Structure 1
């Protein structure tokens, strides 16, 4: 196969940042995706519906002329979040979901939840109205090894929450372990998971073997090869509980290449090409469209997109741009560790 046309995809987990970075990275997502769930971990975070409206306005102003891209806004859950504000924003379509960050788990998460019991009034209201909760699934207990934080989160937080509020619809974002895959598969309804292109392509050796490579460092951190293979099996299986969330997370190079570098991988420019290669390598190109364009809308109860994208395969590997320039400095683009022979050649609204 040398060409592949699929329904225009959505990104169910995206960081756009703000200011100069937003201006520079947004066109790369808008070129290939119809919609995206936009993360709220700005400084200060997007906590209220008013915050979400203001941020959506800045995104709209940064879009290329004529773009049909739609940002789906989220709220940052705190222990003081107002259930009435959340419900009103969901009812009028301003916000699509609420994001749970355990305090201190990742970039700009210091305002997140320390005691989930304090957030229960919001979660109970969300369960009543069918509003999805998006979880960063890691504990922050310093006694827990960083490579075990996802598995421990399932045991300590997610499973008890599912028992307590079984009607609450939850997306376990950027799953990185076989434990996470197994848990999602054990739940028949109400739970789904996003998978990133980089976690399908790299394991922890990419970060640490032969020298520290900061542009492969993200949170949750890449795990052992056995976990990467479990993620690929989930992505390419056709299981409707798994769908694409790029977790494209741009940081300026000067903030990555430092003694205490930021976590995040910027993959928006080449996500679809990388995924086409993954699915081809695993003999599952016929399932790519479901993963990127069907399973997510089904869980979020949204219509599928009408547009399409066309990818083309070349004999020679594709060279992707090394970085995207912003007014504040460059942002390095994810470089896949193995040759990719696919590229997007056309997209329609």
Structure 2
């Protein structure tokens, strides 16, 4: 008997589209199912000013295939030279929906990120004043901290003190990967929320390392122990409006993934909704899927939910998803959940 679920069309609150030939190749994979997405600004060079964001948005829209509808929600890359007035003007114009904080060196194209938080205090205070969200890659980058502990240390040494200094700041802790991060977002006072990725709900560090290194499971923040994956699953399926979907779908061509120093990122745009339906069904929480993908995020960013809907159908036989997406920048491997998927979007 066919099982189906109709929900409001989802949004993605953390997405990498890249630029140029890669953008053209991967954009349809998101626009097929998602109405809107918070687009990450870590290009080379990064999207720092309102003018940068306007130009990048124009390139995204120019690459959207005919007949597809999609709204990119633009972000600015926070640097120690960011101008508070430019940020405020870009937000007031309706162009920019958030500012992204990368600790310098934390992940792909983060070299321009922040090392001295005192130098960005003026920007953050202006953002608190105007209600512009700060999206945070929540990891420290000091070499003496184990990579599996970087999120927890960031919460204690950076995020909590920062929010104490600027209590009105609206913070989204992106791609939460630990039970510590889940607890912090769920229990902290003030204006805070957290995004959870598709892949962190489905893999733990064993998937990366057992039986040989799996480069297409390597991401930053890196996947943690199974117990942390289980905490993420509980949070995502809880119905708590502080948690919502940000896929962090991050395309790299196979040449740059399958190399001695492979790039971090999982490309999940193609099969995210099938993966999520699988997880939520396993957790006995299909009724919570719409909130996680389609309702909590818009509420967080002051937007209405999408009017249109999508329908997910569960087939009796596994659904065939492509192993790779062909782009002008080379093939991109689609995230493999490691088991069959029976859900598809009709």
- Tell me, yes or no, whether TM beats 0.5: yes
Q: Which residue of 2 aligns with 1:317?
A: 318
Quote how far apart the aligned CAs of 1:192 are. Answer: 0.2
Q: Distance in 1 between matches of 2:147 and 2:206?
A: 15
Quote how far apart the aligned CAs of 1:225 are. Answer: 0.3
Q: Distance in 1 between matches of 2:308 and 2:293?
A: 13
Q: Which residue of 2 aligns with 1:251?
A: 252
Q: Distance in 2 between matches of 1:155 and 1:14?
A: 26
Q: Unaligned regions of 5+ residues in structure 1, if any? A: none
TM value normalised by structure 1 = 0.98
- Structure 2 counterparts to residues 184-333 of structure 1, below 5 A: 184-333=185-334
Quote how far apart the aligned CAs of 1:64 are. Answer: 1.0
Q: Which residue of 2 aligns with 1:177?
A: 178
Q: Which residue of 2 aligns with 1:47?
A: 48
| Residues 184, 191 of structure 1: 8 Å contact kept | yes
Q: Distance in 2 between matches of 1:73 and 1:270?
A: 23
Per the alignment, in what secondary structure is the counterpart of residue 190 of structure 2? coil
Q: State the aligned residue count.
A: 345
Per the alignment, in what secondary structure is the counterpart of residue 88 of structure 1? helix
Quote how far apart the aligned CAs of 1:137 are. Answer: 0.2
Q: Which residue of 1 aligns with 2:31?
A: 30
Q: Distance in 1 between matches of 2:327 and 2:296?
A: 33
Quote how far apart the aligned CAs of 1:66 are. Answer: 2.6
Q: Distance in 2 between matches of 1:11 and 1:189?
A: 23
Q: Which residue of 2 aligns with 1:338?
A: 339
Q: Distance in 1 between matches of 2:317 and 2:228?
A: 30
Q: Which residue of 2 aligns with 1:82?
A: 83
Once the two structures are superposed, what CA deviation does each residue of 1:109-147 show, in whole Å capped at 9, x if it has no partner?
A: 000000111100000000000000000000001000000
| Residues 320, 335 of structure 1: 8 Å contact kept | no
Once the two structures are superposed, what CA deviation does each residue of 1:183-207 show, in whole Å capped at 9, x if it has no partner?
A: 0011243000000010000000000
| Residues 36, 71 of structure 2: 8 Å contact kept | yes
Once the two structures are superposed, what CA deviation does each residue of 1:273-298 show, in whole Å capped at 9, x if it has no partner?
A: 10001000110000000000000011
Quote how far apart the aligned CAs of 1:339 are. Answer: 2.4
Q: Distance in 1 between matches of 2:341 and 2:246?
A: 20
Per the alignment, in what secondary structure is the counterpart of residue 149 of structure 1? helix
Q: Distance in 2 between matches of 1:142 and 1:186?
A: 29
| Residues 241, 296 of structure 2: 8 Å contact kept | yes
| Residues 167, 190 of structure 2: 8 Å contact kept | no
Q: Distance in 1 between matches of 2:226 and 2:215?
A: 19
Q: Which runs of 4+ in 1 moved over 6 A?
A: none
Quote how far apart the aligned CAs of 1:316 are. Answer: 1.6
Quote how far apart the aligned CAs of 1:227 are. Answer: 0.2
TM value normalised by structure 2 = 0.99
Once the two structures are superposed, what CA deviation does each residue of 1:135-163 show, in whole Å capped at 9, x if it has no partner?
A: 00000010000000000000011000111
| Residues 267, 333 of structure 1: 8 Å contact kept | yes
Q: Distance in 2 between matches of 1:11 and 1:286?
A: 19
Quote how far apart the aligned CAs of 1:329 are. Answer: 1.1
Per the alignment, in what secondary structure is the counterpart of residue 251 of structure 1? coil
Q: Distance in 1 between matches of 2:127 and 2:183?
A: 25
Quote how far apart the aligned CAs of 1:177 are. Answer: 0.2
Q: Distance in 2 between matches of 1:156 and 1:319?
A: 45
Q: Distance in 2 between matches of 1:187 and 1:237?
A: 17
Quote how far apart the aligned CAs of 1:303 are. Answer: 0.8
Q: Distance in 2 between matches of 1:182 and 1:315?
A: 37
Q: Distance in 1 between matches of 2:95 and 2:238?
A: 33
Quote how far apart the aligned CAs of 1:68 are. Answer: 1.9
Per the alignment, in what secondary structure is the counterpart of residue 326 of structure 1? coil
Per the alignment, in what secondary structure is the counterpart of residue 194 of structure 1? strand
